[in-house]
Each structure stands twice: as C-alpha cells, then as structure tokens.
Amino acid sequence: MTPRTSPNVTEQGSLVTVRHPSGSSCEIDKLGATVTSWRVQDRERLFVSRKAVRDGTKPIRGGIPLVFPQFGQGPLMPGQHGFARKLYWTYTGVARDDPTEVLVAFELKDSDATRSSGWAHAFKLTYVVTLGADTLGTHLAVTNTDKTPFKFTPLLHTYFATPDITEVRVHDLKSLNYTDKVREAQAYYEDRDAVTFDAEVDRIYHGAPNIIHLDVDPRTTILIKKNNLRDVVVWNPWADKAQEMADFADEEYKSMFCVEAGTVHEAVSLQPSQTWEAGQQLIIK
C-alpha cells in the first residue's frame, strides 16, 4: 500500500481527520488507532467519555478501541484487552479517495513494547478505516511474521452514543447462547427479541449473526455488518461500575452502550506467514 495524501484527510499531532464530500467525518487517534469520532448528519454517533485520558498513559475510554491479542483478563501485562489499544500506531496514509469512500490505513508491528507485555510473537497489524456518506468501516488484517503459530482473540470495542440508554434495543441475538460475566461467567440462553438495558450488562453472545440491528433511539437505527468475527459482546457498566472507573464520569452510562464484534469465545489460530482478516461496517439507517 503506497501512502499518499488527500484534501479530505488531515493529520495533526496524533489525530487523523477524514471528511467525506457528503459532510460526514471521522477522527482516528494514533494511540491505539482508535476511532474517536464519527459524525453523520451533524450528529456524533460514537461515545467518548469526557474524562477519557488522551495523553498516551492509558487507552482512550470510548470510540472504537482495538482489542488485540487478548480479550479480557489474561496472562498479558499490564491490564486487560491486550496492547494494541495502548500503543501508538504508524499512520501509513490514504489508501483510497473517491466520491463514495475515503480510506486511511494504520500499521503496528512487534516491538520491545509488545514483547514486554508477555506476548513474544512477531506480527504485523494493518488497520483500514473507511468513511462513506452514512457508513464507517473498520478492517483489521493480522499477519504472522513469526516462525511459530500463535493464537489471539480480536475485538472491535465499539462505544455507541445514545440520548437515553433505556430506549436502546439490540436486535438479532435471540436464540443465542451467551456467557454472562455479571453472573459469574455462567452460560445462558437469550429468549428476548431485543436486548435492553436497566442494569449492568456484560455478555458474550456466541456465534452471532453477521448483521445486528441497533435501535439507538426511537428514530435512529444503526446496522452492524460484521465479517469473519464470530461473537458479539454487549456491555454497559451501569451506575456502580461507572463510579469505579476513573476515566468515566459517574452518569455517562446513561448515554452510551457497547456492541462489540469479535472472535473471543474461541481464539483464532494463525500459522507462520498467514494473514487473517476481519472487520465491520456501521451503517446509519
């Protein structure tokens, strides 16, 4: 991929801003290659906490953090969700710019920082963010540049903004089994037509369909179209957990929810010289 520039893309410090001729826009912070804004029809569609730390000392609380190579708690240090969202990525330029879409690309390779986390493998990550008039695509490619296989659990930890969490409806998860991390990681069966929020929710839905409908409010629907990502995580910290997070304001749980496409119930295994690719497209309906 040959880096090039575009009048629709600006780079200032750690922030890359992409604008579409329709008026939509997005912003990607090189810290974690985290998408921190997606505006369509002059409305912000992603949530970022007003207390989010943006100086590189910790991951950004909100937007679309990239979870790699470890979802949740595990052997890697420090903390959970791996190192990809905690490191600065290399912005490699504009991959495509035409009347329908603008694509920008980022790259992360193994380094002293990744090896010091306890994950000793050589790898290359390529991340492409695609902005359309009413769409946002995020596509991840993982290449094993090591001499031995490795396993990983990738996830797009998408935070959606909503005017009222009690109005949110997450569809298309009925009849799935899920792991409920609020209830001691026990297995349950989803029998509701739509998942709603009236308390803390932290669930991994196994084998979720590739299209998920989100009613953000009674007038707005967002579609998640995922590709090669088997599971969906649904999360809202609610009041008590919100108060435990220093980078999240106490009342912000009322204006956000996460629906996260990933492969986390069973890890992806990748052989040397192989590349694994997956992603999602968010569509305003």
Q: Which residues are catalytic?
A: 157, 260
Buried b / exposed e along 69-97 (16+ C-beta atoms within 10 A) = bbbbeeebeeeebbbbbbbebebbbbbeb
d(CA 208, CA 172): 8
In degrees, rounded to 5, the angle at the alpha carbon of residue 39 between the alpha carbons of residues 194 and 221 is: 20
With H, G, I as helix, E, B as strand and everything else as coil, classify residue 230: coil
The candidate with the shortest Cα–Cα distance to 268, out of 230, 225, 226, is 230
SS (H, E, C) 58-125: CCCCECECEEECCCCCCCCCCCCCECHHHCECEEEEEEEECCCCEEEEEEEECCHHHHCCCCCCCEEE
d(CA 29, CA 39): 15
Q: Is 243 annotated as a binding residue?
A: no
Q: Is 80 annotated as a binding residue?
A: yes
CA 268, 70, 173, 162 dihedral sign is negative
- Residue 48 forms beta bridges with which residues? 62
Distance from CA of residue 214 to its chain's centroid? 15
Q: Is 280 annotated as a binding residue?
A: no
Q: Where is the binding site, in residues?
A: 61, 80, 85
Q: Where is the binding site for substrate, in residues?
A: 61, 80, 85
